[in-house]
Structure formats: structure tokens, C-alpha cells
A = this chain, B = another copy of it.
């Protein structure tokens, strides 16, 4: 390995930070420099809602790799530093920290610039080019601090977007004693993660704690002295309008990739503006890697490009980038499984595989099983519903679970998908059984049985 090798990383989120860590693991002598525009080194964005509720005590607790860690690892970390320009010909990065200009040569460059919350076109959402007072996003520690400062017990909070982050915020705001309303433009919640029938199970359960409007679009903000007081929503079908009084409005409808730098150096972007990378995290530009929310990657099942919006995937891409950028070798699987999970109001959900709406219906067979986490005779069993999706030959392409240990059950499906396993094999999986732990036949295999029966009927 080359002692003089210099790896420069732009962005110190889960992607950039992990890339730095694995670059260092792979090459103990390489020079590594990280530029981060914010004031914190790598921290868990996914943890933000739980600091807001107080479940995690301090925002600083989210920091996974401290400035001290970077110093000890001999990784140059420049916080509050914005990269202005990249010169690919000279292999030069020009950054600014306050009035200071930092010019540094790179051998490998890793772009981990992340994404920015999308602000939908709602009337009066901005005043003087800034979001109206009381309207927030959830992306950075600063965003979350702002939300925290606005929380009041008994107050009204409205969340636009019933995806994972929106519902995590709902849960955590309820913990702080707020009355929470969630507005979703689609016909049900969590539709990026769950099928409608699975989503309805969640909707029914969490509706005990919050008010949910599905199929409603937020159209207008009403302000009172420069502070939000109402949000107007309109039914997609009937055009019927309602006004919701709110002290706090959280926008959580997805992100747009931050790719302005990548664009200037000619990295290939897809039509939605994500940086295209291969499974070594290489972009179309030589010696330039990209990882995380600013990239798109291949879905393992469909082999079609899919944007990356999960910290867990960013970390895996970053391992590949960090190792490969320092001359090591690491090839992640040929695509992402998009395994994800969350927990709202004590209800665990998880899924793996491509969003099924992206696949032709006639090519899909589904099986669903709704049972208990324990044998029937054992007290304390919790509901678990598993749904599995296969192609016409029974090859498993995706799965979803709602209820007890949904995430670990979905990991088994993730393993099956990675192995290219057929439902006829998985349904015979010998799962672990003991009365206080799991039933003789688990929902994992019983959902597969349902598919098998359908496939056999067709034959």
C-alpha cells in the first residue's frame, strides 16, 4: 500500500464517517481528510426522534465517532467546512472554513453529501424565503433542537408524511404529551414500506394514539403573527377541505439528493438526480466514489436502480468505498435488499425487498400468515403477521412483517432472498421452537406455506 495515498471524503454522516473508518482500517498509513459542512462529526440521524422525546438523553449521545476518535485515528476532520469546488484534472478539493480556504490533493475522493428534506409546494409555507415559524424538518441535530424548543405538553403537532420518519416523530411527540395529527397524501400509511393490507394493521393500531388523515394533501398554511396556526388539507378524491389547528408542523415527505458538487465534475446522475454508483461505490468519474443518500444503486431483486435512503445501506456502501479507495477489496452483494424496520407505539414493522408496486402484479404470488409469537397455549404471545412475495416460480422476492420481532423475522427472509431461495425450500425451514420463545411452526414458514398452496393449485 502507498504511504502517500490521500483519501478525501466530503460529508461526515453515516456514509462519510464509515468510509473514513474503513479507509483507516484498510490502510493504516494513508492520509485521510474529511470535510463536513455541519458542526458535528458522524452521528445517528435515525436517533433524532428519540432525543426529542427524551428516550435518548442528549443530542450529543447520538455522536458515534467523536472528534477525539478522528484525531486518535489520525483522520483530518474539518467541521463547519464547505467544499466549494473539485478539480478533477488536478485531483484537488477546495474547501472553505469561515474565511480560510483549504486546498488539498486527493488520490481517491468519496462524495457523501447526503440529501436535503423536500419541502412540498404548500401555499404560504415560506415567509421571506424561510419556512414559517413553527414549521420544521427532521434531518440534522439543529433541526431536532428546533423541534424540541417548540414542544409543549397538550399542544398540537401535525406531521405531513406517514413514512417511517413521520411516524417515528408522531410516536415521540405523543411521548411528550402532544396531540398529533398525521397527514398522508397516499391512500394509506407507510406505502413505501408495506403493502396496503399490512399497512392497515399498523394504521388501526397506531390510530389509538394519533389522528391520521390518508388521501389528504396539505394545501395551505395559515399564519398568525408570522407563526403557523393552521394547516389546510384537502381530500384527494372529494376535494373536501379541513383546517387543522397546529402549533408545530413537521414536514417529512422524503429528501432530494445533494449532488451539486458531483454534477460539477461530471458524475453520471440518474433522471431523478441521484449519483449512479456500482457495487464498489465507484461513480462514473475515475477515483471518485459516492455513498449514501446522494446515490442510487441497484435493487438486488429487480436489478433496477433504486435511490438509497437507509442509513444501514449507506454504511455498507461506505465500507465498500472506504476499503476500495485505499486499495483493499470489498464487494457488497450485487444490489440492495432494502431491509428496513421501525417501531411505532410499541408495534414493530419490517420489510425487505423491492417495493412491490414496482413489479408487474401478474408476476407476483403472495402468502400471508397472521398468528402468535408463542404457541397458542402459552400466555403472553403477541400478534405477528408475515407476508411473503414470490415470483411465479416461487422464488422469494420480498417480505413484510408487522408485530413481534418483525425485524429479526425479516432478516431470515433477507437471507433467503440473498440466497435466491425458493418458497418451497424456505417453508420447510426448521425454525427454533420452545414454548416461551417461539411456536413449533413460525409465521415465517407458515406464510411461505400459503404461497406454496397457491402455486400448487395453479399447477
Contact = CB atoms under 8 A, between A and B. Distances in A.
A428 interface: yes
A40 B430 CA distance: 27
Interface string A342-372: 1100001010100000000000000000000
Contacts of A421: 415, 418-419
Nearest to A433: B312
Interface string A61-78: 110100000000000000
B44 A430 contact: no
A416 B421 CA distance: 10
A350 B432 contact: yes
Contact of A431 (B44, B311, B312, B375): B312
Interface string A34-53: 00000000001011001000
A315 interface: yes
A315 B439 CA distance: 12
B408 A434 contact: no
B55 A434 contact: no
A310 interface: yes
Interface stretch (A84-92, A203-211, A255-263, A440-448): A440-448
A416 B419 contact: yes
A388 interface: no
Interface stretch (A123-131, A148-156, A235-243, A331-339): A331-339
> What number of copies of this chain does the assembly contain?
2
B408 A62 contact: no
A418 B420 CA distance: 12
Nearest to A340: B432
A418 B429 contact: yes
Contacts of A415: 412, 415-416, 419, 421, 426, 429
A341 B44 CA distance: 33
Interface in A366-397: 375-379
A410 interface: yes
A405 interface: yes
Given A55-B379, A419-B419, A310 B352 contact: no
A411 B407 CA distance: 12
A332 B430 CA distance: 10
A435 B46 contact: yes
Contact of A313 (B55, B412, B426, B430): B430
A316 interface: yes
Contact of A341 (B56, B343, B437, B441): B437
Given A408-B412, A412-B415, A435 B377 contact: no
A407 B432 contact: yes
Given A419-B416, A440-B311, A341 B377 contact: no
Nearest to A344: B436
Contacts of A408: 405, 408-409, 411-412, 432, 438
A348 B437 contact: yes
A436 B51 CA distance: 12
A327 to B, nearest CB: 15
B438 A341 contact: yes
Contacts of A352: 430, 432
A63 to B, nearest CB: 8
B432 A46 contact: no
A61 B313 CA distance: 46
Contacts of A416: 415, 419
13 contacts: A46-B433, A56-B435, A312-B441, A316-B428, A333-B425, A339-B432, A340-B433, A341-B432, A341-B438, A409-B411, A411-B444, A414-B432, A415-B429
Given A312-B433, A414-B429, A418-B426, 5 more contacts: A55-B378, A61-B377, A310-B433, A342-B437, A415-B419
Top 5 nearest A-B pairs (CB, nearest first) are: A408-B408, A419-B419, A341-B432, A312-B433, A407-B432
Interface of A: 14, 44, 46-47, 50, 55-57, 61-62, 64, 164, 310-313, 315-316, 332-333, 336-343, 348, 350, 352, 375-379, 405, 407-412, 414-416, 418-419, 421, 425-426, 428-438, 440-442, 444
